[in-house]
Amino acid sequence: MKTLKLILLLFLSISFTACKTQNQSTQTQTETFMVDRPKSVDIRGEKLHYIEQGSGEPLIFIHGTVGDYRVWISRMEPYSNDTHVIAYSRRYAWPNKKVFDQTADYSVRIHADDLYALIQKMGLKKVNLVGHSYGAYTALTMALDHPEAVKSMVLGEPPAISLLENASEAGKASFDTFKRKNLGSAATAFQDDDNEKGVEWFLKGVLGDGFSIDEVPPVVKQA
């Protein structure tokens, strides 16, 4: 668990630091890769923002719960030599509108439908998908619904909770604890406008009780 925590912190630190440094030189690299001025596409009444670079087969990066398209910036340049790389921010993630629709049933289905709509709106055919955490779950769900749209997938720890709940009584009990202890505490913190504590409670559920928000570098917190 300690190794997993360090890997996540390293991933976030490198990605967001790359965002900060690359944003200063992006305009001299290519006119189509503008981190400070992303493109957007209208999907079911929302504008989803994305960045893209390169040409060739489409490769779409999908971020997890704690993140947005910026976490993939350090990966854009290397893969753009051979592919058309796209990184987008899922619904509610920065810099998209953050007002949550209280009438909607929040689930991975919303994001899976968004991903498919994005593929259609951009006129893409078969795509390659790389997803992390909830982004991986989004990709997996979309692929199950529309296998004809997917050529390949790389999925990093998709939280397919239904598998855990249906696996055994122990699995169901584990998820129930996560919902009550971590998601419940996170929700309370967010309602109290304590965003850092809310994120901390969520990540404690993912990485273990030993996680502390104080370990996160300031540049990552700001992002």
- Predicted pLDDT of residue 35: 61
- The whole-angstrom separation of Cα 210 and Cα 91 is 30
155's CB contacts (< 8 A; 6+ apart) are 129, 131, 136, 139, 140
- Predicted pLDDT of residue 9: 47
- Predicted pLDDT of residue 26: 39
- Predicted pLDDT of residue 52: 94
- Predicted pLDDT of residue 36: 66
Q: Where are the domains of the chain?
A: 2-157, 160-223
Q: Which of 74, 144, 70 is nearest to 109 (CA)?
A: 144
**Element containing residue 166 per DSSP (H, E):** helix 161-167
Mean pLDDT per block of 10 residues along the chain (223 residues) reads: 44 44 41 67 93 95 94 91 96 87 81 97 96 96 96 93 79 88 95 95 92 90 82
Q: Is residue 194 classed exposed, middle or buried when 0-12, 13-18 and 19+ CB atoms within 10 A define those classes?
A: middle
Strand intervals (E) in the chain:
39-43, 46-53, 57-62, 83-88, 127-132, 150-156
CATH for 2-157, options being 3.40.50.300, 3.40.50.620, 3.40.50.1820, 3.40.50.720: 3.40.50.1820
Q: Determine the length of the chain.
A: 223
What is the b/e burial string over 77-108, where b = at least 16 CB atoms within 10 angstroms of the residue's CB?
bebbeebbbbbbbbbbbeebeeeeeeeeeeeb
